[in-house]
Amino acid sequence: MLRAMLTFIQVLLSGLAIGCVYGLVALSFVLVYKAADTVSFMQGELLMVGAFAVVVLQAAGWPLAAALTGGVAGAALLGAVLERTALRYTLGHSHLSAVLLTFGLGLMLRGGVTAVPAASHGMFVLPLPWADEVFRLGPLSLPGGQLLVMAITALVAAALSLFFRYSRSGLALRACAEDARSAALMGVPVARMHTLAWALGAALAALAGVLLAPITFVHLNMGFIALKAFPAAVLGGLTSLPGALAGGVFLGVVEALAGLVLPEGSKDVVPYLLLLAALLLFPAGFGARRTA
């Protein structure tokens, strides 16, 4: 009985940790969706590029903290540059054009990384502090990597909510998301906010990549996790930041527990069945106030 209880908690924790990563990527989806009114299909690639950037910087001799900051900032810069050079032109056009544009840009990013011989030959470890330690709490063993993921996710969520509540740019960004035209009339530089949203989205994805590194290592296909994170974002309503995070955690936990409790083979379908059900029961997502 105790054994089963322990197993349950352990699996729950793993689910929470992976759910946090889903949540972070989902946050980046939502940020972009709110500001640019489109779904970005290059978040997975940005995640991968960001993680690789940190690995490269660290290999170049930077200390870990500097490499992390540099990698995430680099991803933000990349997001901004892509917005300035390409994504900007989709403003005022349909969902679909921007979706396809991000898809194409994603292919370019992926191709660019693949062309580096070392990247196409293997996977890399990102030595985060405490990631390999295991903390014991009585009979429970808490992996440091999972605790780290949860802690950083909580920090990021707090920072984001402060940013959107109190900072000038954050408020401006929210105004643009609500109603770009009125925001422009109120003197909000809408175009600049558009850039900011993509940069923030890219930075969040890169951060998620760094946190994913202890779990899956850094490699070409690590961005596939976005395929799970996107449903999480929709589950949360696509317009709600807390909703996205909650959706991610929910999906992670359900997935992990389904594998434990339900018969073999159902693990992978359950999240999607759940997604279908959630979409039908809450047509606007868990956390949304307005419908699309």
- Taking CB under 8 A as the criterion, which residues in 5-24 touch another protein? 7, 10-11, 13-15, 18, 21
Q: Which residue, 95 or 165, is less far from another protein as judged by CB?
A: 95
Distance CA 26, CA 37 (A): 15
Instruction: Identify residues 164-223 at the interface with another protein (CB under 8 A).
Output: 212, 215-217, 219-221
- The verdict on 272 binding another protein (CB under 8 A) reads yes
Name the one range near another protein by CB under 8 A: 164-172, 188-196, 241-249, 279-287.
279-287
- Part of the chain binding another protein (CB under 8 A), chosen from 60-68, 149-157, 195-203, 278-286: 278-286
The count of other CB atoms within 10 Å of the CB of residue 19 is: 30
Q: Which of 73, 86, 175, 184 forms a contact with another protein (CB under 8 A)? A: 86
Q: Distance between CA 121 and CA 211 in Å, rounded?
A: 22
Our finding on whether 247 is near another protein (CB under 8 A) is: no
Candidates 70, 189, 242, 259: give the one binding another protein (CB under 8 A): 259
**Burial of residue 241, with CB atoms counted within 10 A of its CB: 0-12 exposed, 13-18 middle, 19 or more buried:** buried
Please list every residue from 23 through 82 that binds another protein, using CB under 8 A.
39, 41
Nearer to another protein, 19 or 71 (CB): 19
Of 188 and 252, the one with the shorter C-beta distance to another protein is 252
